[in-house]
Chain A
Amino acid sequence: MSKIQFIGNFKDWIKDEWINEVMEAPGFAMPQNSLRNEARFNPWLRQFIKDINHVHTQQEYDEIKNLLDKEDENDPAVRHAKRISLTFLDPVRNTPEGAAEFDEEYRMFHDAEYHVFGNYFSLLEKFDLTFDILDDPPPFLDYKDKHITWWFSKMSPGQLIPMHIDRAKPDIEINKYWMPWTDFEYGHIFNIGETVLTDYKAGDVFKFNYAGDWHGACNIGFTNRAVLQITDYKPSRIIQ
C-alpha cells in the first residue's frame, strides 16, 4: 500500500475558465471500451452511432458486429473496427485479439454483475478540452525527463467506478497526483485501501507513489465531482 501524501493546495494555479469548461464539457462516458467511444476514432463505426453519448446495448453490439462481418476487410476503417474495436469492446467474451490486457479486470467486473458497458463516469482529456494543463504546468509537478499523462474524471450523483488497479508495470517508478477541482461534499467518495479521502478543498493535491493500489470511487452525494488526475513516470528511454 503506497503512502498517501498531502502536498498542498494549488487552487491559485487553476484558471476559472478551466473549471467552467471542465464542469460543462460532457467528456466521454466510461468504461472506455464501449462502442460510442471507439466510434470517435473510427469512421466505420461512427456512421452507425450518431449519438456519442448513447450507451449501446448488447443487441446493438451484435447488430453492428453482424454488419461488420459483411464488409470489405480491405477497407482500413473496417479492418480497424474488426480487428481492434470489436475485440477491444468485448473482453467478457474473451476474444483473443486486443482484449488480453483488459480481460482480467473486466471479467472481474462482469462476474460481480457490474454492467461492463454501463455509464460510470465521464472522462475528459486533452482531446475533449480546449486547454492543455501542461501549457502552464502545475507547480507541484516535477516533469523533467518524465512522461506525463493527465485526465479529469467527472462523476454525477449515482455514478461509480468499481475497485480496480490502474494498469501499470509494478517495476516502473510512478507518481500519481489526485487533485479535486470541487470541494469535498458528503457522499463524494474516493476509496483507496481502507481510506476514504474527506474534507478536502478544491485545489488540494494528494500524491501516491504506485498505481498498484486498489482504489475506486462513487458519488452518492448531490452535486457533480471533478478530479484532475496526473501520472508521471520515467520511461526507460528518453528521446531527446
Chain B
Amino acid sequence: MIKVGNLQDLINVSWIDEVVTTVLNSKGMQRPKEGGKPEGKVGDREWQRAIDAGYNPNAVYFEMFDENNLKHNIPPFHKCGRQRHWWITKMKPGQFMPMHVDPHTEQQENTDRFWIPLQDWEPGHIFMYKNEHVSGYKKADVYQYKQAQEIHGAANIGFNPRVVLQVTLYKEKQ
C-alpha cells in the first residue's frame, strides 16, 4: 500500500464525522450472509477457498454501506474519465474479512483502488495487504493499492468499531 496523502489537505472533510456517526448507528448490509456468492471466476475461487478453510458463508463478518443504504453523498473524487465505485465497511470488534482478492476487479482495467480510513488507527485494527500491515494512520489518510487484484484482508481485534471508505476508479473491460 502506498500512502498518497490525506483528504484534509485536498477537500473539506467535515462530512467524515457525520458519515462515521451514521455508519456506527446504522445496520449495513451483512457480509457475507446477505451478499451471496460473488460472480465470476475469481468470485468462485475465493468463495470456495474460504469454505474449504472452514469459514461460514452464512456468518456476518462485517457490514457494508454504499449508495443504496447510505444517504450521504460521498464527495466526488476526480474520476479522470473513469467510472467510480465506493463502499464503506464497518467492522466491529471480533469481526474480520479473510484474505481475498476482490472479484469485481476481474471485470475492470485501468484501475486505481484507494483505502481511506475514516478514523484514526487503534491497536487491534488490522488491515493486511499481502504481508504489509497498515497501521498508525490518521483519519482521512489515503492509501493506494499497488495492484488492484492483490490479496488483502482485515480484522478487528481491538475495542471499537472500525470504519473505512474504499474507492475504486476503473474502466470496464471491453
A and B co-occur in one complex: yes
**Hey, which bits of chain A sit against chain B, CB under 8 A?**
108, 111-115, 118, 156-158, 160-163, 184, 186-187, 189, 191, 193-196, 198-199, 214, 216-218, 220-223
Q: Are A184 and B131 in contact (CB under 8 A)?
A: yes
- B153 on interface, CB distance cutoff 8 Å: yes
**In the complex, which residues of chain A have a beta carbon less than 8 angstroms from the beta carbon of B154?**
220
Contact of A222 among B53, B97, B160 (CB under 8 A): B53
Closest 6 CB pairs of A and B: A196-B133, A187-B99, A198-B131, A163-B124, A112-B93, A222-B53
**In the complex, which residues of chain B have a beta carbon less than 8 angstroms from the beta carbon of A113?**
92-94
Selected A-B contacts with CB under 8 Å, 18 pairs: A112-B93, A112-B160, A113-B94, A157-B55, A158-B55, A160-B94, A163-B158, A187-B128, A189-B133, A194-B121, A194-B123, A194-B135, A198-B132, A214-B124, A217-B157, A218-B126, A220-B98, A220-B155
**Contact A191 to B124, CB < 8 A, known contacts A162-B159, A223-B53:** yes
Least CB distance from B136 to A in Å reads: 5
**In the complex, which residues of chain B have a beta carbon less than 8 angstroms from the beta carbon of A157?**
53-55, 98
Q: Are B130 and A186 in contact (CB under 8 A)?
A: yes
Closest to A187 in B: B99
Q: In the complex, which residues 46-86 of chain B have their Cβ closer than 8 Å to any Cβ of chain A?
A: 49-50, 52-56
Contact of B133 among A184, A198, A221 (CB under 8 A): A198
Q: Are B153 and A187 in contact (CB under 8 A)?
A: yes
Contact of B99 among A163, A199, A221 (CB under 8 A): A221
Q: Are B155 and A218 in contact (CB under 8 A)?
A: yes
Q: Are B157 and A218 in contact (CB under 8 A)?
A: yes
**In the complex, which residues of chain A have a beta carbon less than 8 angstroms from the beta carbon of B151?**
186
CA of A182 to CA of B49, assembled, Å: 20
Secondary structure class of chain A's binding surface, majority of residues: loop
**In the complex, which residues of chain B have a beta carbon less than 8 angstroms from the beta carbon of A189?**
126, 128, 133, 155, 157
CA of A140 to CA of B129, assembled, Å: 32
Closest to A223 in B: B53
Q: Name the interface size band of chain B.
A: 20 to 34
CA of A19 to CA of B90, assembled, Å: 38
Q: Are B155 and A160 in contact (CB under 8 A)?
A: yes
**In the complex, which residues of chain A have a beta carbon less than 8 angstroms from the beta carbon of B54?**
156-158
CA of A191 to CA of B124, assembled, Å: 7
- B96 on interface, CB distance cutoff 8 Å: yes
**In the complex, which residues of chain A have a beta carbon less than 8 angstroms from the beta carbon of B92?**
113
**In the complex, which residues of chain B have a beta carbon less than 8 angstroms from the beta carbon of A158?**
53-56, 96, 98
CA of A57 to CA of B121, assembled, Å: 34
**Contact A115 to B94, CB < 8 A, known contacts A186-B128, A195-B133:** yes
Least CB distance from A93 to B in Å reads: 20
CA of A190 to CA of B132, assembled, Å: 12
CA of A114 to CA of B124, assembled, Å: 13
Q: Are A162 and B158 in contact (CB under 8 A)?
A: yes
Q: Are A160 and B157 in contact (CB under 8 A)?
A: yes
CA of A199 to CA of B128, assembled, Å: 13
